[in-house]
Amino acid sequence: MILALAAGLCVMVGLGVAAYVAAAPDKVRLPRARRRPAVEDGESALAEAAEAATSLFGRLLHRRAGNLGATLDLAGSAMRPQDFAFLVAVSSVVLVAVTLLLGGGLLALPVAALAPLGAVLHLRMRVAARRKAFAEQLDGTLQLMSSSLRAGHSMMQALSSVAKESEEPTASELSRVVNESRVGRPVVAALEEAAERMDSDDFQWAVQAIAINREVGGSLADVLDGVGGTIRERGQIRRHVAALSAEGRLSAVILMLLPFLVGGFLLMTNPGYLAPFVENPIGIVLIVVGAIMLIVGGIWLKKTVEIEF
């Protein structure tokens, strides 16, 4: 009974602090001496606890905060690394507490690993979706740049105009390039870093064409039109390949979801049928082995239907 109450308390406190960290707006970090005396702080005990907890995680992640921050940046998230790590830790604690409340003490440790695993998968999916959107917008981006150059704009003016007219993530990536160029960084180097950040071979080719044109001269608009035509044809081939491999990808999704669907159906219709998997150590070992085999099979199926050209 005491363990259940403690677990429930941990769930409520963790959810409250995590909700505050997730929903709280970014703070203006100014020294107290520079704040207006008429403005009250108004920070509650929950806010101070959340700030202390995230600061602690920031100190613990001082070596890996850079990599996590870069990943969050690629995913298009404005959350600080320590806030994200704190939310993941709270999610793990909540999952463990819920597992203990349900009586699955032996599953507490495997369940705790679900939160970091889910967070990593979530970030990777967001990064992949952002890069895919950038690649799909690249043809229109080059067309806008070419039109701006033909209208008499300079290279930097064309980039600034495209950054304002484009959608995300192209707008933010080109805005970063423009801002870096304004503080003295070479525009070609900034464009090359953007191409590497978006993992786009097509944009890398466009950047190389821009670099060569800046050295030898000529009409950059015509060069971008040629590169844009090539990218457009590659996009058509890529979409054709995606259509041909749709059946294989659908089969992979069905095979990955089938164990969870069957397990959920049995859990709702006959819970006692699955009880040995959580009451017996051998059942827990079988669950772990099944999860590992499911991951290996999913990677295998993904590589089978993945075509590079």
pLDDT in tens, the chain (309 residues): 444 445 455 555 555 545 444 444 444 444 444 445 444 444 555 556 666 666 666 666 666 666 777 888 888 887 877 778 888 888 888 888 877 777 666 667 777 788 888 888 889 999 999 998 998 888 888 888 888 888 888 888 888 888 888 888 899 999 999 999 988 888 889 999 999 989 888 888 889 888 888 888 778 888 888 888 888 888 888 888 888 878 878 888 888 888 888 888 887 888 788 777 777 888 888 888 888 888 888 888 777 777 666
CA quadruple 69, 73, 74, 76: dihedral, nearest 10: 140
* 247 vs 1: CA distance, rounded Å: 51
Token pair recorded at residue 131: 């890069």
Residue 211's nearest CA partner among 186, 233, 230 is 186
Q: How far apart are CA 288 and CA 271, in angstroms?
A: 19
Q: Which residues contact 244 (CB under 8 A, 6 or more apart)?
A: none
In angstroms, the CA 223 to CA 202 distance is: 14
In angstroms and rounded to an integer, the radius of gyration of the C-alpha atoms of the chain is: 26
Instruction: Show Cβ contacts of residue 145 under 8 Å, excluding neighbours closer than 6 positions.
Output: 158, 159, 162, 224
Q: How many CB atoms lie within 10 A of CB 241?
A: 15
**251, amino acid identity:** S
**pLDDT value at position 135?**
87
Query: Are the CB atoms for 37 and 102 separated by under 8 Å?
Result: no
H/E stretch holding 96: helix 81-101
Q: What is the pLDDT of residue 68?
A: 78
Q: How many CA atoms within 13 Å lie on the side-chain side of 38?
A: 0
Tokens coding 266: 């049995």
Please count the other Cβ atoms lying within 10 Å of the Cβ belonging to residue 83: 21
In single-letter form, the type of residue at position 39 comes to V
Residues recorded for the chain: 309
Q: Which contiguous run of DSSP H or E holds residue 143?
A: helix 114-150
Residue 104: Cβ within 10 Å count: 17
pLDDT recorded at residue 62 = 64
DSSP summary character for residue 25: P
For residue 130, what pLDDT is reported?
92
Structural domains of the chain, with CATH? 2-23+45-112 (no CATH), 131-229 (1.20.81), 246-305 (no CATH)
pLDDT recorded at residue 202? 86
pLDDT score for 267: 77
The one-letter amino acid at 202: D
